[in-house]
Amino acid sequence: MSEKTFHKATKILEKAPDVPSIVEAVQFHGIRITKNDALLKEISELYRSRNLDELVHNSHLASRHLQEVGLMDNAVALIDTAPNSKQGYVVNFLVKEPKSFTAGVKAGVSTNGDADVSLNAGKQSIGGRGESVSTTYTYTVKGDHCFNVSAIKPFLGWQKYSNISASLYRSLAYLPWNQSNVDENAAILAYNGQLWNRRLLHSVKLNAIWRTLRATNDAAFSVREQAGHTLKFSLENSIAADTRDRPILATKGILARVAQEYAGIFGDASFVKHTLDLQAAAPLPFKFILAASLQAKSLKGLGEREVHILDRCYLGGQQDLRGFGLNTIGVKADQSCLGGGAALAGVVHLYRPLFPPQMLYAHAFLATGSVASIHAKNPIQQLQDTQRVSAGVGLTFVFKNIFRLELNYTHPLKYVFGDSIHRGFHIGAGVHFM
Amino acid sequence: MIAQMSGAGVITQLVTDALSMNAQQDWEDVSLFTPYLNDQALINEYADCLAVQTFLRMTSLPFNVRQRPNVEFISPDGIIPLLRINKTLITGFHQIVDFVHKKGVTLTSHLSEIQVADMRANISMIDSLLTNIELYILWKHDETYQKVTKDRYGSVYHWPLSTILPILKRRSVLSELSDKDWEAKSLDEIGEQAEKVFRTVSVQLGTNKYLTGELPTEADALLFGHLYTLITVRLPLTNLTNILKKYPNLIEFTKRVEQAYFKQ
């Protein structure tokens, strides 16, 4: 093949809608472990291309999909004419399969802003059908450590983006809002897929989590009372429509997600939790971007016992209601936060790209939110009565799609006596921001 | 012999500090947190909870008993029962007695200081020996573990925790016993230890109404807690009860205290 010259697809793309094409062969170069049936599922649609334009387009989709489901590290489609026929084409995929084994060490920052060091090892496409296994061991500066072993199996097929996964993990963490430590040992099964002609994202999770809460000496008795072992079995279902161009900081598009969590078939926890997320972003003149997010949560206990403190709704912190301590909004006992039965929060942002344009932004926001007590007779009234508001300006730094850092001057405008208020410069780091 | 309380020295110090600060507060809204006495508490826990209740009844201080499945975790140092007075938490028989004493309520005003010191040393020894004997039977004696301990300890959890947690607890109690050189003892040696304790207290009690004479002290509360539990709770292993039956004055003592403080 080396003596031939290939051109970029853009050269003929959309110029050849009338050139009929017959795919005579699809060839892969560089296959060692990938199974034949997996490749067949991935490319069979290519044979249906009716003209050259479609073939070019589909070949591109196929090579991208091969990489995205984890079958290949790299895949390039080269389209060649077939030697013995006028309308015939041969598609050659030059592929590079994933390394047999990967391992690494990295230092990073967790969603709560703690620095950590983690060791990881993994294997992609173990059985030659895109299945992957990864393991992580993380140690944070504060002395917490955890492990995670997870396996994912994608469903292969033309433009199919769905998978099932299983993970086992143990984590130990300090919850400053509850002034407690919690150990979790969990087994989680998940399905991710699409609904309604792939316009909606759908995910289902089955959680089995054994949690051990240990109150510190500072914790209020209301927290201490709930210490010990509890078992949560829950089923989570989430449906979302997402047209955002970049989830971590969208410049346009919307996200609408509804999620339910039901616990109560087995285990100690027994509740239903509903979460609604809405986000929208739109470009304004002079490169400004206007964005808004809304999140509503409601929790209803189903058993006789009140909903465990670990299952309640929390709000506050640099990722949602900026200007207040992490998860500190709502009812408190001494210095411990007890969480709530409903929470509502909204944030309006104005961004303007600085330099480099896709990474650094000037940022101004107005945030509001409140949490209603788990015992509230009229949660909506309570949400209205205890509303908090904060505003701020700062810089937002986005690294690709994986990490976001905010440095803000925050100023709480409306708060309730006893709130932990953060006025001044604060850093927020993580992935999920409202 | 100094009492081998399982609390670490630091915690004892913390509690002592807390006590000296808070001992002045009023005796109001006092709660005693215990495990579920009928279905969950193990004999050593039952004995301690009963001892504290008896002591508080002897002092006539009012309190509520609150039974919770997770008292072991509510308690800051894992020792039960747990006494809560406002925001102060006091754990275990000895600390509760000390706390009450610091509030000026005492059952030993009829004794000299030396007698009190003797009595304290004596009950520490009795308590520590009986507790070790009880722990040995609960966690080391296989039949008792399989038929009683495992189920009662796991009774407040759902499967699979109801299976896992007793195993973890057994491992930790056995290593504790092994640190005290109790784990390797034979059942006969345990019987001898029990015989020794019962003989000592039986001799000490003699024909008195209470251990130190006509008036009850915390020693009686503690002894009653253990004896009543050993007499009434049915275990697969009957050795202890049989040994105890050889000392009729102890049985009489138990009946007497029960009559005086629990059947009014």
ipTM: 0.84
A229 touches chain B (CB under 8 A): yes
Give the integer Cα–Cα distance in Å for A419 and B194: 57
Q: Is residue A374 in a domain?
A: yes
- For residues A170 and A82, membership in a common domain is answered with no
Cβ distance of A228 and B76 shorter than 8 Å: no
B78 touches chain A (CB under 8 A): no
- For residues A292 and A171, membership in a common domain is answered with yes
Can you give the pLDDT at residue B237?
86
Give the integer Cα–Cα distance in Å for A38 and A156: 7
Handedness of CA B129, B131, B136, B141 (dihedral sign): positive
In percent, the amount of chain A with pLDDT more than 90 equals 52
pLDDT bin (cut points 50, 70, 90) of residue B4 is: very low
Chain A residue with minimum CA distance to B159: A267
How far separated are the first and last CA of chain B, in Å rounded?
A: 37
- For residues A243 and A357, membership in a common domain is answered with yes
- For residues A177 and A34, membership in a common domain is answered with no
B69 touches chain A (CB under 8 A): yes
- Provide the 10 A C-beta neighbour count for residue B182: 19
Contact yes or no for A26/A82 (Cβ under 8 A): no
> Residue B10 pLDDT > 70, yes or no?
no
Between A166 and A9, name the one with better pLDDT. A166
Can you give the pLDDT at residue B7?
41
Q: What mean pLDDT, rounded, does chain A reach?
A: 89
> Residue B13 pLDDT > 60, yes or no?
no
- For residues A207 and A347, membership in a common domain is answered with yes
Q: Is residue A46 in a domain?
A: yes
pLDDT bin (cut points 50, 70, 90) of residue A180 is: very high
Query: Closest Cα of chain B to A141: distance in Å?
Result: 25
Q: Rounded mean pLDDT of A132-148?
A: 82
Q: What mean pLDDT, rounded, does chain B reach?
A: 88
Q: Is residue A182 in a domain?
A: yes
Can you give the pLDDT at residue B264?
65
**Lateral strand order in the sheet of A74-81:** A22-29, A88-96, A74-81
B169 touches chain A (CB under 8 A): no
- For residues A222 and A366, membership in a common domain is answered with yes
- For residues A57 and A198, membership in a common domain is answered with no
A210 touches chain B (CB under 8 A): yes
In DSSP terms, A118 is beta-bridged to A106, A138
Total count of domains within chain A: 2
Give me the total of CB pairs closer than 8 Å, taking one residue from chain A and one from chain B.
36
Can you give the pLDDT at residue B6?
41
Cβ distance of B68 and A225 shorter than 8 Å: yes
Query: Closest Cα of chain B to A26: distance in Å?
Result: 52
Query: Closest Cα of chain A to B43: distance in Å?
Result: 21
B87 touches chain A (CB under 8 A): yes
Structure tokens at A97: 């399969």
Residues of B with Cβ-Cβ distance to A221 under 8 angstroms: 84, 87, 89
pLDDT in tens, A20-71: 888 888 899 988 889 989 999 988 888 888 888 888 888 899 999 999 888 8
CATH number of the domain bearing residue A320: 2.40.160.50
B66 touches chain A (CB under 8 A): no
Residues of A with Cβ-Cβ distance to B74 under 8 angstroms: 215, 224-225, 227-228
> What are the residue ranges of CATH 1.20.1050.10 in chain B?
113-262
Residues of B with Cβ-Cβ distance to A228 under 8 angstroms: 69-70, 72-74
Give the integer Cα–Cα distance in Å for A339 and A223: 10
Can you give the pLDDT at residue A1?
46
Q: What is the Cα gyration radius of chain A?
A: 25
How far separated are the first and last CA of chain A, in Å rounded?
A: 51
Give the CB-side neighbour count of residue B209, counting CA atoms within 13 A: 10
Q: Is residue A61 in a domain?
A: yes
Residues of B with Cβ-Cβ distance to A215 under 8 angstroms: 73-74, 76
pLDDT bin (cut points 50, 70, 90) of residue A267 is: confident
| Interface with chain A: mutation pick from B70, B87, B165, highest number of A CBs within 10 Å | B70
Q: Is residue A109 in a domain?
A: no
Give the integer Cα–Cα distance in Å for A411 and A390: 6
> What are the residue ranges of CATH 3.40.30.10 in chain B?
9-102
- For residues A418 and A271, membership in a common domain is answered with yes
Residues of B with Cβ-Cβ distance to A210 under 8 angstroms: 161
Give the integer Cα–Cα distance in Å for B3 and A96: 70
Query: Closest Cα of chain A to B212: distance in Å?
Result: 39
Q: Is residue A258 in a domain?
A: yes
Q: Which residues have C-beta within 8 Å of that of residue A318, sequence separation ≥ 6?
A: A113, A326, A406, A408, A426, A427, A428, A429, A430
Q: Is residue A144 in a domain?
A: no
Query: Closest Cα of chain A to B89: distance in Å?
Result: 9
Domain span at residue A421 reads: 161-430
pLDDT bin (cut points 50, 70, 90) of residue A274 is: very high
Query: Closest Cα of chain B to A306: distance in Å?
Result: 14
Query: Closest Cα of chain B to A432: distance in Å?
Result: 33
CATH number of the domain bearing residue A28: 3.10.20.310
Q: What is the CATH number of domain B9-102?
A: 3.40.30.10
Topology classification of domain B113-262: Glutathione S-transferase Yfyf (Class Pi); Chain A, domain 2 (1.20.1050)
The three-point CA angle B244-B258-B84 to 5° equals 110
pLDDT bin (cut points 50, 70, 90) of residue A120 is: confident
Q: Closest to A227 (Cβ–Cβ): which among B70, B89, B158? A: B70
B27 touches chain A (CB under 8 A): no
Q: Is residue A134 in a domain?
A: no
The domain boundary, picked from A81, A96, A111, lies at A96
Q: Rounded mean pLDDT of B19-23?
A: 50
- For residues A357 and A214, membership in a common domain is answered with yes
> Residue B92 pLDDT > 60, yes or no?
yes
pLDDT in tens, B118-166: 888 888 988 999 999 999 999 999 999 999 999 999 999 998 999 999 9
Q: What is the DSSP letter of A20?
A: B
pLDDT bin (cut points 50, 70, 90) of residue B169 is: very high
**Is this model's pTM higher than 0.90 or not?**
no
Can you give the pLDDT at residue A13?
66
- For residues A54 and A183, membership in a common domain is answered with no
Q: Closest to A228 (Cβ–Cβ): which among B73, B84, B158? A: B73
